[in-house]
Each structure stands twice: as C-alpha cells, then as structure tokens.
Amino acid sequence: MSTPLTLAPGRRPDGTALLTVAGEIDMSNVDELAAAIETTEGPLVIDLTAVEYLDSAGLSLLFRHTDRIELVVTPLLAPVLEITGLADLTTVHGL
C-alpha cells in the first residue's frame, strides 16, 4: 500500500500544463507522480503547495525534469529544495 497522493492535471490560465499534487511524496508513491509528469509534454507547472512531505525519491524525480518544469511550493518544502540545489536548476515559486 502506497502513501495516499492526489494528482490533479489541469491547465493554467496561460495554457501551461499544470499538475496539482496533494499529500506526501515518498518512495512508495513516487512512481505515480512520475507517471503523471511523464504523461504531459512541454513545460509543466507542478503545484506542490498541498504537499506536506517530499523526500529524496520525489526530489530525484523532479531533478530528472528540471528542463521543463516550474514548481509552486510553500516555505515548508523550501529547506529540501535549497539544500539539494533543485531551486537553482528550476524556477520555484512561493519561496
């Protein structure tokens, strides 16, 4: 049984693809998130403001897609994004 995770694909008003994630991301459900990201093409905004936990498994997934994603976060996730350097490779909103 994996950690519950809610994935809601959508579009931003400017037409950019949007993936709204809620819950906790860990090694048990990172594959769900990976699938959701990989089903979209082109730039993708991932909204993580409802994500309460993100571990290295989720971070590694995000690192693979830094060339086309932007992140929306709350300060809760800021430490991990900054420590790992992800924030330097991609655009992060909400820091």
Partner 1 sequence: MGRSGDAAHECAAAAGTDVFAADEEVGGHLALVDWSATPLGPPEQWPQSLQTAVSILLSSRFSMWMAWGPELTFFCNAAYRRDTLGAKYPWALGRPASEVWREVWDEVVPRIDTVMTTGEATWDEGLLLYLERSGYTEESYHTFSYSPLRDDSGAVVGMLCVVSEETERVIGDRRMTTLRDLGSDPSVVRTEQEVLAFTDRQLDRNRRDLPFTLTYLLEPDGSARLAGTTGLPEGHPAAPGTLPADGSGVWPAGAPANGESVLVPLDRPPFTAPPLADRAESPTHALVLPLPRQGGTPYGFLVAGLNRYRALDDAYRGFLELAAGHLAAGIASARSYEAQQRRAEELAELDRAKTTFFSNISHELRTPLALIMGPTEELLTRFPHPGSPVRQELEVIHRNGLRLGKLVNSLLDFSRIEAGRMRARFESSDLSQFTADLASVFRSAVEKAGLEFRVDCPPLPEQVYIDRGMWEKVILNLLSNALKFTFDGSIAVTARARDGHAVITLADTGIGVARDEMPRLFERFHRIENARSRSHEGSGIGLALVKELIDLHGGTITADSTEGRGTSFTIRLPFGADHLDPLALVPAGERRVPSAAEPFVQEALRWLPDDGPGDLRPVATAADASGHPTGSARVLVADDNADMREYLARLLGGTGYRVDTVEDGLAALRAVRADAPDLVISDVMMPGLDGLGFVSALRSDPRTASIPVVLLSARAGEEASIQGLQAGADDYLVKPFAAGELLARVRANVELARLRNHQARWRTALVDSLQEAFFVCDEAGAVIEINAAFTDILGYAPDGLPYEPVHPWWPDAGTDPDAHRQVADAFALLVGNPKGSYTIPVTHREGYRLWVTANFNQAQDPDTGRRVTVGTFRDVTAEHYAIQRESAQAALGMWLTRATSLPDALEGALTELRHLWRADRVIAALATPDGSPSLWSTDAGLRWEDLSAEERGDVTAWLDRPSLTPFHDPTGAGITINHPQGPMAVRIDFGTRRPFTSEDQLLLSLLAGQLSQGLARAHQIDQQRETALALQRAILGPAGLPDGFAVRYEPATPPLEVGGDWYDTVALPDGRIGIVVGDCVGRGLGAATVMGQLRSACRALLLQDSGPAQTLMALDHFADGIAGARCTTVFCGVLTPETGRLIYSSAGHPPGILALPDGTTRLLDEGRSVPLAVRPGATRPEAGCTVPARATLLLYTDGLVERRRRPLTAGIDQASEAVHAGRDAAVDDLADQVMVRLVPPDGYDDDVALLLYRRPAPLDMAFPAESAQLAPVRKALRDWLGQCELPRHTVQNVLVAAGEACANAIEHGHRDAPGDPVRLRAEARAGDLRLTVADSGRWKTPQPGAGTHRGRGVALMHALMQRVTITSGATGTTVDMHTRIA
Note the residues at the interface with partner 1 (CB under 8 A).
Answer: 1-4, 24, 26-28, 53-57, 59-61, 63, 75-76, 79-80, 83-84
The Cα–Cα gap between 74 and 48 comes to 8
The β-bridge partners of 5 are 23
Q: How far is the CB of 50 from partner 1 (least distance, A)?
A: 15
Q: How far is the CB of 24 from partner 1 (least distance, A)?
A: 6
Helix axes 30-38, 56-64, angle to 10 degrees: 20
As a whole number of Å, the CA-based R_g of the chain is 12
Cβ-based nearer residue to partner 1, 80 or 87 = 80
Q: How far is the CB of 26 from partner 1 (least distance, A)?
A: 5
Q: Are 48 and 23 in contact (CB under 8 A)?
A: no
Cβ-based nearer residue to partner 1, 15 or 75 = 75
